[in-house]
Structures are given as structure tokens and as C-alpha cells.
């Protein structure tokens, strides 16, 4: 990040000084944990974790040998993410890279993860390590010469489990409509849920290895145990028995590995079907309070109603209501692990609900290669085709250029430049309420601070100095950073208000 410009004002608004200082990202991030259904930092402020999913360290199937399935991860990615006002990333890691052979962990991959965490910390960004998978793994695709009987279709490989942990037992690898509806995929999940050959223990040990490495790093906010878990041949038992047992096993392994260090937030998810039909009967698995429920609210973008009738039949608000209700059963809050803009005003309605529920999220996804299975699946098993047009991740990527087969970056998606980059309080004393207007870059807040010792930190986008109006907020300090401004203050004690609007 560039040197920051600091402007300090006393309540009367007297300008004191303006000097260049090193980025706040060079300062250690406060440790965060869950208390009273809120993410809080060591200052006692509530923290909103808003960011993007970063897949560049993911180990994905390559559908066309000429097109890389991911872009390389660079320091510049984190600088650009920070310039959108984001303070967190959900960093995809792959079991297939962590443990390529049973009991053998890849130190080179660990160094790549460490480097990503360092880049994130240097830009004031928290990292949530996400054990990602889609349709079990990359070693479960239909063979290029396999013929699928109608109504089945070829299934491309995805990401997740290593080859040694993939048990298809010669089940059919073709799929029915969707990647999860494959007998081979379900058989692999069945083997996992029943802990065949100690598969769950291996994955829990991999988590313990990561937790040991990052137990003293506050920039690592937590661990997302398993992305969108799939189902075997008895989904009810998966939800009621197998998944809670696996989460408990992982949580215990992580906490043991953290001995003498920081206890990080454990993020946990419902089955993958929740993203399409958002409901699952909660099954508590631990007494640990430092946990967060992390479903994926895709209503209005890629939920089942959008797939079947191309209309939002299940209101977006219901996703937030159901996520919040299920989280309460676990005694915690929720954080939306994935979302993406839908048609019309969807992104703006989504933003308003995030403000209302005071929750954060990770926009799916930061930057998608043209060789990502999400782009290549429709062509499989043809290994010669290349996608055309643009991929509308946060960074828009244009496909079809032979000189850059992975794609050519075309800048930030316009909707994300407005909605994702809108103003929000990164940290604030609770209780409080806030509402943002992405189009006008305005934020209104009010609250009641009991002690007056919990700091306020607000992101305001825009190049020009923000317009700021406050009541009972002391020591206002404006810090110019790439993409906008950070507003620091100390509300209270007592009732307080703030209005901030980004300048041109």
C-alpha cells in the first residue's frame, strides 16, 4: 500500500496535521473471537468481516491442458482487495495439496499459505482459511472416452480431496443434472462420512497442522472446516450424525494444536444443498463458543428457483432469516461464506440485509481463471475448447485470447466497485445500528456506548475527503488509503451518532 495521509480533527473540526505514515496494515491486526453472538476484537469492538473468496491457491482440475485453472496469487491481489475496503479474505486451501500422501504434509504449500497471510496482514486484511472442495475432488471426473447413458451427463473433475482419499468403488462417474448427483461422488462422501481408512482423522490432522502453524498469528481469524459438504447415500444420517461428529473431531484437534496460542474462530457449514434450498436442521456439535455458522446465501442469484424458473421465488430475506435462526440454535451468529450478485437490484438488496443483520461475507469469487472448472464444465470431456466472453468475478476476466489462455483482466466489476466497496463500520461499540447507501457512498450510524473505550473504525470509499458529521464521538481521525479513507473515533459514553459520505 502507498503511504497514508493522516488528518486529525478535534470535535470543533480544527485541522491539526497531515503527514505520510506507513500503512496501518503493517501494524498487527487485533485478535478476534466470538462473544455474545458477535465477532469482537481485543478492544471490545464488534467487527464486521467483509471480503472476497480467493481461489488462487486452490488445486483445481484442469479441463484443458492449455488453460491454467487458477491465476497465480500475488501481493497485488491483496492491495487491490484492500482498496475496495475489504478487511478479510476467505483463502481457499486444498486437502489434495496439504496432504498429497497419507500422513505427509506439503511444506512448500504451507509456505505459499504463509506468504498469502503475510501479504494479507500487510494490507490490514484478516484471513479465514477455507478447506475447499467441490463435488469431492479433482480425481473423480468421467474419463474423456467414457459415454454416459441418457439422461446422465459427463462430470468434470473439481477440487478437494487427494487421490488416495477418493473411493469411488467403480461407481458410475456420470452425473444427473448437477455435479453432486453422481454415484461416484456420493460414494466418496459415503466413505468419508463413515470414516473409511480414517479419512476424517487425516483431514482433522491436516487442520491441526495448520492450526499449530498459525496459532500465534492474529491475522488468521479462523478456519472454515469444510466447504459445502456433500452427501452420501443417507443424507439424513449425514446431517444428524456424521457431519456433527466430524466437526467435533476437527474442533478438538484444532483446539489441542492451539495450546499456548490464540483460540481461532471455527467456521462450519451446512450441506451443499443449503446454497440452493436454504434450510437444514441444526445439530449442535460442541460447547465451544468461539464458532460461527457459515452457510452460503445464494438466493436470487444461483438458488434452485433461479435455476428452474429464472425468478426469485424464495425471497432473499429468507436466506438471512433462516441463517440467523439456525445460527441461534448453535448459540452463535452467522457469516455468509459465499454470495454473488444476481439480476436487477439484487446486490443492493443483499447489501441492505447485510447492514441490517450486521454480518459480513465473502463475495464469490475474487478472480476466476478461464480454465476454472466452473467455466470449463460445460465443455467436458472435450479438452480442446476454450471459454469465450467474460467471467464476472470481482475482477472481470476476458476469455478467448490465445496469448493469455487463463484470461485477460479487465478491471473491477462495476457492481462490486459500488456495492462491495460501499462504506461500513469495520469495528464499532455495540449496541449500534447502521445503514449504507452504495450509490451515494453514505453511511449513517447510531448507538449507545457504555464505557466510551471501544474504538470505531469506518471504511469510506472515494478519493476526496469524506463529509463527516458526529455527535458524541471523540478524536475523529481520517486516514487516506488506497481506494478511500479510514475514519477512527471513540464514541460515547452514552448515545452517539455518525454520518460519513465519500468524497469525489
- Give me the tens of pLDDT residue by residue for the chain, a chain 504 residues long: 444 555 554 333 322 222 233 333 345 799 999 999 999 999 999 999 999 999 999 999 999 999 999 999 999 999 999 999 999 999 999 999 999 999 999 999 999 999 999 999 999 999 999 999 999 999 999 999 999 999 999 999 999 999 999 999 999 999 999 999 999 999 999 999 999 999 999 999 999 999 999 999 999 999 999 999 999 999 999 999 999 999 999 999 999 999 999 999 999 999 999 999 999 999 999 999 999 999 999 999 999 999 999 999 999 999 999 999 999 999 999 999 999 999 999 999 999 999 999 999 999 999 999 999 999 999 999 999 999 999 999 999 999 999 999 999 999 999 999 999 999 999 999 999 999 999 999 999 999 998 878 999 999 999 999 999 999 999 999 999 999 999 999 999 999 999 999 998
**d(C-alpha 179, C-alpha 34), whole Å:** 35
Is residue 277 a contact partner of residue 303, using CB atoms and an 8 Å limit? yes
Burial class of residue 65, CB neighbours in 10 A (0-12, 13-18, 19+): exposed
Helix (H) or strand (E) holding 228: none
Angle at 48 between CA 480 and CA 315, to 5 degrees: 120
As a residue count, the chain comes to 504
Is residue 396 a contact partner of residue 412, using CB atoms and an 8 Å limit? yes
As a CATH number, domain 49-421 is 3.20.20.80
- Strands annotated E in 114-195: 126-131, 175-176, 178-182
Predicted pLDDT of residue 18: 29
How many helices (H) and strands (E) are present in the chain, helices listed first? 12, 26
**d(C-alpha 392, C-alpha 491), whole Å:** 39
Give the start-to-end residue ranges of the domains of the chain.
Answer: 1-30+423-504, 49-421
Predicted pLDDT of residue 452: 77
Q: How many Å separate Cα 180 from the centre of its chain?
A: 21
Is residue 155 a contact partner of residue 380, using CB atoms and an 8 Å limit? yes
**d(C-alpha 296, C-alpha 131), whole Å:** 15
Predicted pLDDT of residue 8: 54
Is residue 484 a contact partner of residue 443, using CB atoms and an 8 Å limit? no
Edge-first strand order for the sheet with 361-363 is 291-293, 265-268, 220-224, 126-131, 88-93, 50-54, 361-363, 336-339
**d(C-alpha 1, C-alpha 88), whole Å:** 16
Helix spans in 285-408 (H):
304-309, 316-329, 346-357, 373-376
Is residue 341 a contact partner of residue 417, using CB atoms and an 8 Å limit? no
- Give this prediction's pTM: 0.95
Predicted pLDDT of residue 1: 46
Amino acid at each position: 500500500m502507498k503511504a497514508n495521509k493522516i488528518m486529525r480533527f478535534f470535535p470543533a473540526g480544527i485541522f491539526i496535521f497531515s503527514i505520510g505514515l506507513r500503512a496501518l496494515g503493517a501494524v498487527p491486526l487485533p485478535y478476534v473471537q466470538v462473544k455474545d453472538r458477535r465477532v469482537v476484537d481485543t478492544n471490545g469492538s464488534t467487527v464486521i468481516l467483509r471480503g472476497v473468496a480467493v481461489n488462487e491457491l486452490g488445486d483445481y482440475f484442469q479441463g484443458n491442458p492449455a488453460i491454467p485453472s487458477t491465476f497465480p496469487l500475488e501481493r497485488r491481489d491483496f492491495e487491490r482487495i484492500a482498496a475496495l475496503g475489504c478487511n478479510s479474505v476467505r483463502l481457499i486451501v486444498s486437502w489434495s495439496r496439504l496432504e498429497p500422501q497419507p500422513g505427509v504434509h506439503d511444506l512448500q504449500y504451507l509456505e505459499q499459505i504463509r506468504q498469502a497471510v503475510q501479504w494479507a496482514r500487510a494490507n490490514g486484511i484478516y484471513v479465514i482459511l477455507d478447506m475447499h472442495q467441490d463435488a469431492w475432488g479433482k480425481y473423480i471426473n468421467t474419463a474423456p472416452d467414457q459415454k454416459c447413458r441418457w439422461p446422465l451427463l459427463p462430470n468434470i473433475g473439481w477440487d478437494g480431496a487427494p487421490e488416495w482419499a477418493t473411493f469411488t468403488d467403480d461407481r458410475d462417474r456420470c452425473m444427473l443434472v448437477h455435479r453432486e448427483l453422481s454415484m461416484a461422488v456420493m460414494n466418496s462422501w459415503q466413505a468419508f462420512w463413515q470414516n473409511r481408512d480414517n479419512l476424517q482423522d487425516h483431514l482433522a490432522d491436516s487442520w491441526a497442522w495448520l492450526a499449530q502453524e498459525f496459532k500465534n498469528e492474529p491475522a488468521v481469524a479462523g478456519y472454515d472446516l469444510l466447504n459445502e459438504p456433500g452427501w452420501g447415500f443417507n443424507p439424513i444420517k449425514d446431517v444428524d450424525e456424521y457431519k456433527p461428529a466430524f466437526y467435533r473431531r476437527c474442533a478438538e484437534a484444532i483446539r489441542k494444536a492451539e495450546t499456548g496460542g490464540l483460540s481461532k474462530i471455527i467456521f462450519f457449514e451446512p450441506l451443499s444443498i443449503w446454497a440452493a434450498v436454504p434450510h437444514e436442521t441444526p445439530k449442535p456439535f460442541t460447547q465451544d463458543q468461539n464458532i460461527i455458522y457459515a452457510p452460503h446465501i445464494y438466493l436470487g442469484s444461483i438458488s434452485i428457483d433461479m435455476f428452474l424458473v429464472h425468478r426469485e421465488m424464495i425471497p432473499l430475506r429468507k436466506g438471512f432469516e433462516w441463517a440467523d435462526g439456525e445460527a441461534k440454535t448453535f448459540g452463535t451468529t452467522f457469516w455468509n461464506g459465499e454470495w454473488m450478485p444476481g439480476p436487477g437490484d439484487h446486490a443492493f438488496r443483499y447489501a441492505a440485509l447485510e447492514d441490517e443483520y450486521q454480518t459480513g461475507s465473502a463475495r464469490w469469487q475474487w478472480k476466476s481463471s478461464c480454465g476454472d472448472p466452473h467455466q470449463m464444465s460445460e465443455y467436458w470431456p472435450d479438452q480442446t475448447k476454450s471459454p469465450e466472453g467474460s467471467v464476472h468475478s470481482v475482477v472481470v476476466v476476458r476469455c478467448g485470447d490465445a496469448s493469455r489462455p487463463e484470461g485477460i483482466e479487465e478491471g473491477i466489476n462495476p457492481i462490486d466497485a459500488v456495492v462491495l466497496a460501499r462504506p461500513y463500520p469495520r469495528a464499532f461499540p455495540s449496541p449500534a445500528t447502521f445503514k449504507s447507501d452504495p450509490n451515494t457512498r453514505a453511511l449513517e450510524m447510531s448507538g449507545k456506548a457504555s464505557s466510551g473505550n471501544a474504538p470505531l473504525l469506518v471504511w469510506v470509499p472515494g478519493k476526496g475527503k469524506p463529509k463527516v458529521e458526529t455527535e458524541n464521538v471523540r478524536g475523529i481521525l481520517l486516514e487516506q488509503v488506497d481506494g478511500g479513507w479510514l475514519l477512527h473515533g471513540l464514541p460515547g459514553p452514552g448515545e452517539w451518532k455518525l454520518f460519513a459520505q465519500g468524497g469525489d
